[in-house]
Amino acid sequence: MSKRLIDFFILLFFLANLTFMLSQVWRMITVNNEPVEPHLESGREQVRHGVFPQEDDIEKINDAHWFGRYQAAKSGEKARGYKVGEWAIGAELLANAPEAAALGKITGLLFSDNAEKSLVIVEHGGKQTGYGVGDRLVGSNAVIVRILKNKILLDENGYYAALTFKE
């Protein structure tokens, strides 16, 4: 093909795209084929636009509780979660620590009565890595606090979490 013919098709392509973009802009500024004009609120001199949330909309958004509801701990009651330093590592903590499944999956445990000799193999992102007590899991802020026969106890950003071995 000649250079002139290629240039013609490129120009035709750009003109078609320009036409499409202009038609989309025109669709955005018209509603029902009528131009959209800002209108004044009664008693105010501010212009209202249909795309911005109004005051009553903001209350509806706040009432949706997108990130859950805040619930303060009652007096004398510990907040939900097991904060490191506030809880001694005991039976209740080991049984009720929340699961931290997003940190990976335990694929192997080498348990010893001597905690320093226990090892755990964790798979995260398709890669298996071995860890001991005090090691930080790759790709997270979780540090291994204790290795048990069927789970590991982690310090995840100041809160205890558990990763359970599932066969």
**Residue range 100-143, pLDDT digits in tens:** 867 788 899 888 888 888 999 999 888 999 999 999 988 888 89
- Asked whether residue 55 falls in the same domain as residue 96, the answer is no
Residue numbers of the domain that contains 123: 91-164
- Asked whether residue 48 falls in the same domain as residue 109, the answer is no
Backbone dihedral region for residue 32 (phi beyond 0: left; psi -120 to 50: alpha; all else: beta):
left
Asked if 112 and 148 touch (Cβ cutoff 8 Å), the reply is: no
Query: What are 5-26's pLDDT values in tens digits?
Result: 999 999 999 999 999 999 988 8
Query: Is residue 75 in a domain?
Result: no
- Asked whether residue 113 falls in the same domain as residue 156, the answer is yes
- Asked whether residue 11 falls in the same domain as residue 54, the answer is yes
Please give the tally of structural domains in the chain.
Answer: 2
State the pTM of this model. Answer: 0.50
Residue count of the chain: 167
Query: Is residue 73 in a domain?
Result: no
Query: Is residue 142 in a domain?
Result: yes
In single-letter form, the type of residue at position 60 comes to K
